[in-house]
């Protein structure tokens, strides 16, 4: 959890539904998508979020190969290249002829900005 004062940009809290660490300013949990508090702009379908980065890729396992295992790891680095956070977000296995598609997005917004 962040030690920043309540309401400061980047302050975090725990989602009461899924226990993910989320931004304190979130009205909807980005992990489980449960609503956390009433937000008139969210009720109208408006959004303050901009997708700054989106990457998608598919892995196709060859039909005659041995099973593969995978780990999805997200790493965040600051401007100096120092690791700020590293998280394993999922692991699994691919059997012959199976495929998985992975999508990673980075959403940015100004806390408290109206839509």
Measured in whole angstroms, how far is the alpha carbon of residue 106 from the centre of its chain? 7
pTM above 0.75, yes or no: no
Check whether 107 has a pLDDT greater than 80: yes
Per-residue CA distances from 99 to 55, 72, 73, 84 (Å) = 17, 15, 18, 31
Cα(first)–Cα(last) distance of the chain, in Å? 27
pLDDT tier, 113 (very low <50, low <70, confident <90, very high otherwise): low
């Amino acid at each position: 959890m962040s030690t920043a004062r309540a309401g400061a940009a980047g302050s975090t809290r725990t989602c009461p539904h899924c226990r993910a660490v989320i931004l304190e300013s979130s009205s909807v949990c980005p992990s489980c998508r449960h609503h956390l508090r009433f937000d008139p702009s969210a009720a109208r379908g408006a959004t303050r979020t901009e997708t700054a980065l989106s990457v998608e890729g598919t892995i196709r396992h060859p039909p005659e190969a041995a099973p593969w295992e995978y780990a999805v790891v997200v790493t965040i680095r600051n401007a100096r290249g120092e690791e700020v956070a590293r998280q394993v977000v999922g692991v699994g296995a691919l059997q012959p002829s199976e495929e998985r598609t992975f999508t990673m997005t980075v959403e940015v917004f100004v806390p408290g900005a109206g839509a």
